[in-house]
Amino acid sequence: MADLEERNDAIRLALYPSAHGLGHFMRIVHLAQMLHETGGKRQAKYLLFIRTNVNKGVRESLQAGWSHVGVVTFSSYEFPIQPSVVQKNPYTLSTSQTWDAVRKFDANAAVEQEERFVKDNGIQIIISDCPSIPCVLNVPSLLVTNFTFDTILQGLLATQKIDPAQSEDIADIRAFIQDMTDQYQKADALIRMRGEIHMPYNGRTVDIPAHFRHAESSKTDTLEALNIPELLQPGRKILLHCFGGQPQNDTYTRIPQLPPQWVCLSQTIHAPPHFYAIKKDAHIPDLIAASDAVLGKLGWGMCSEVIGNGYKPFIFVPRSAFLEEEGLVKWMQKDHRRLVRMEVNVFEAMEWEDAILQAEALAGPQDTDVTAEGWKCKEEELVNIVDGEVMRLLGR
């Protein structure tokens, strides 16, 4: 009976991650975890619903970082809740496919679908990271993000050479972007994350500290569990090659260059004794903490995790067409200061050695504010801010 009463008193919160890659999904799950485990100063109880079409395997892999993830009700949707920003690979956007997705997107169907979900599940408040549709469902809503997709699409449009014959089509795209901006304005507040870019949101804005998924195992335990003796050799240096959830090429004409004593754990390359493929369900924060440097793209999740799990040197391959990168670079240059840029042509030519040596030279002891206690305080502050905004909107 007590459990039933507690459930009835709990706040029914729906969280909407963007379907763009896995980064938004992972960070919204971590936010849900913090709300569940901490509850803020008021020790609020939440019934958590996450709307996502990520596959079952990805959801099951969450157990490695959150053993109680079963408290979340995951549900999928038939109609997309945002148009896809399509990538050919982790660092290249497909402009034509993205505009095709915009043309095909049915906002009315998405709104009707989510209005039914909200009503059927008694949702009291929404957090969006950061589709715009959840902001117009007649339920109090919070944007929790470092960018909005109207800005991303506007930036992509600005890079395009406009053919006069396409002027009507371009006008339709501009109208769609404006509709998206108007939808975002319906949110009751923007809780702005680190690495932010300009967002044309005019409402209440509150900044929050960074959060990140934690390593759950020690370096020794992580490396021993991989059962790769080569990783445990004295003086061995480890590179983690990881681009997150975007499509990647898994065929290579030759093996990338590594400096002496370096071994690579890779999402796509398996060529012992220098390259070893990691499992798809690997808990990436464990691998970051066990590595000496990371090679990937600047995504919010990877940025937060290389900072939070030891300030690991980060070699990034730029994705210049995606405007979020501008904010992430500024954040990393200020708070991380161990960033190495590897141009796309160098990455694709497999000439990695120089960048790895640059990263190695940047390595050093982690900053004093990255202690476990320091991060715990930041996460408590974050939860108190989010929880306070929820309570304000619900009048509690």
How far is it, in rounded angstroms, from Cα 56 to Cα 74? 10
Q: pLDDT-derived band of residue 388, with 50, 70 and 90 as boundaries?
A: very high
**Residue spans of beta strands (DSSP E) within 119-217:** 125-129, 141-145, 189-192, 205-207
Task: Give me the phi and psi of 25, to 5 degrees please.
Answer: -60, -45
Average pLDDT over residues 268-274: 94
Q: Write down the pLDDT at residue 164.
A: 60
Q: Where are the beta strands (DSSP E) in 119-202?
A: 125-129, 141-145, 189-192
Could you tell me which residues are beta bridge partners of residue 240? 265, 294
DSSP 8-state secondary structure symbol assigned to residue 313 = -
Q: Which fold has domain 1-211+378-394?
A: Rossmann fold (3.40.50)
Instruction: List pLDDT tens digits, range 142-182.
Output: 999 999 999 999 999 988 776 665 677 889 999 999 999 99
Distance CA 387, CA 13 (A): 11
Q: Which two tokens stand for residue 60?
A: 């099951």
DSSP 227-290: T-GGGGSTT-EEEEE--TTS------SSPPP--TTEEEEESS--BTTTEEEPPTT--HHHHHHH
Q: What is the DSSP code (8-state) at residue 256?
A: P
The answer to whether the 1-211+378-394 and 219-363 domains have the same CATH topology is yes
User: Cα separation of 252 and 229, whole Å?
Assistant: 25
Q: What is the pLDDT of residues 314-359, one digit of tens each?
A: 999 999 888 999 999 999 999 999 999 999 999 999 999 999 999 9
* 63 vs 347, higher pLDDT: 347
Predicted pLDDT at 371:
64
Residue 370 has pLDDT above 60, yes or no: no
For the ranges 83-92, 121-130, 245-254, 268-277, the maximum mean pLDDT occurs at: 121-130
What does the pLDDT average to over 208-218?
94
CATH class in words for 219-363: alpha beta
Cα–Cα distance measured from residue 217 to residue 210, given in angstroms and rounded to the nearest whole number? 21
**DSSP code at position 230:** G
Question: Could you read off the pLDDT of 68-121 as tens digits, one per residue?
Answer: 999 999 999 999 999 999 988 889 988 999 999 999 999 999 999 999 999 999
Domain ranges of the chain: 1-211+378-394, 219-363
Q: Which residue has the higher pLDDT, 167 or 396?
A: 396
Decide: helix, strand or coil at residue 276: strand
Do 340 and 317 form a contact (C-beta atoms < 8 A)?
Answer: no
| Residues 156, 172 contacting (CB under 8 angstroms) | no
**Residues 6+ positions from 75 with CB-CB distance below 8 Å:** 49, 50, 51, 52, 117
Of the candidate ranges 18-27, 44-53, 138-147, 161-170, the one whose mean pLDDT is the lowest: 161-170
Distance from C-alpha of 46 to C-alpha of 344, rounded to nearest angstrom:
44
Question: How many residues belong to the chain?
Answer: 396
pLDDT band at 376 (very low <50, low <70, confident <90, very high): confident
